[in-house]
Amino acid sequence: MKHPRLAIDIVTLFPGIVRPALRESMLRVAQAKGLVDIKVCALRRFGQTRHKSCDDKPFGGGPGMVMMAGPLFKCVESIKKSRGEGHVVFLSPDGKRFDQSHAERLSKKRHLILICGRYEGIDERVREHLVDEELSIGDFVMTGGEIPALCVVDAVVRLVPGVLGNRASLECESFRGGLLDFPQYTRPRVFRGHKVPDVLFSGDHKKVLAWRKEKSFEKTRLRRPDLLKGQGSSLPAGRQVAK
């Protein structure tokens, strides 16, 4: 690929989990358009001994295995050698909670290298001396970092200019402007007796906008009041929230 806006390398012991997701839908199209170049790096290639081991028992005892520093360093160094410097992200339940602002920031980088952990995690020296940033996708523990990495890739790639056919859809989705998205409807107008709100057929663009903003606000207030803190003038008239 000549000059993608964003290059991504996913470092994993289980490429078979990641690859199928990259071949579908928006991620496939983004790569086909040449806007992003996503590669999956099979960590096992950098394993030690003839068994290509990438993990070992934890020093100090305890259950499970820990991913070794050697293969991870060698793998990331080889990626940087062939694709240039990159921002190294380790997916980890104890990382910073990934959100839309992280996705926006990462979508402006040129090259991301995502490390997927397994087992009890990775040798701490990798976190200290190789990783630039640690991200969690939520307060729960998954078996590995592959699905968290795909979450980050999906949320980031759709923000790369040119990836979404209609960029306007980014402007009015959840978290933009600190509000959740408004309700959406499509045909039929009446489904099993449930009607679409009349205002959406009024033809009055201003009224529709005002209704949507009001609904966004209501939903945010009920489901995510934390998002409203610190907001003021962007809320519907009479809906200002105390700081």
Positions in the binding site for ligand SAM (CB under 6 A): 91-94, 116-118, 120-121, 136-138, 140-145, 148
**Rounded to an integer, what distance in angstroms lies between the CA atom of residue 76 and that of residue 139?**
27
Instruction: Give the residue with the Cβ less far from ligand SAM, 95 or 178.
Output: 95
What's the closest the beta carbon of residue 227 comes to ligand SAM, in angstroms? 21
Instruction: Give the residue with the Cβ less far from ligand SAM, 95 or 177.
Output: 95
Identify the H or E element spanning 222: helix 205-223
Instruction: Give the residue with the Cβ less far from ligand SAM, 62 or 230.
Output: 62
Instruction: Give the residue with the Cβ less far from ligand SAM, 133 or 218.
Output: 133
Tell me which residue has its CB nearest to ligand SAM: 117
Query: How far apart, in Å, are the Cα atoms of 206 and each of 175, 195, 217, 233?
Result: 22, 21, 17, 18
**Rounded to an integer, what distance in angstroms lies between the CA atom of residue 180 and that of residue 177?**
9
Buried b / exposed e along 220-232 (16+ C-beta atoms within 10 A): bbeeeeebbeebe
What's the closest the beta carbon of residue 87 comes to ligand SAM, in angstroms? 17
The 8 Å CB, 24+ separation contacts for 220-228 are 220/178, 220/179, 220/180, 223/180, 224/180, 227/175, 227/178, 227/179, 227/180, 228/178
Instruction: Give the residue with the Cβ less far from ligand SAM, 86 or 145.
Output: 145
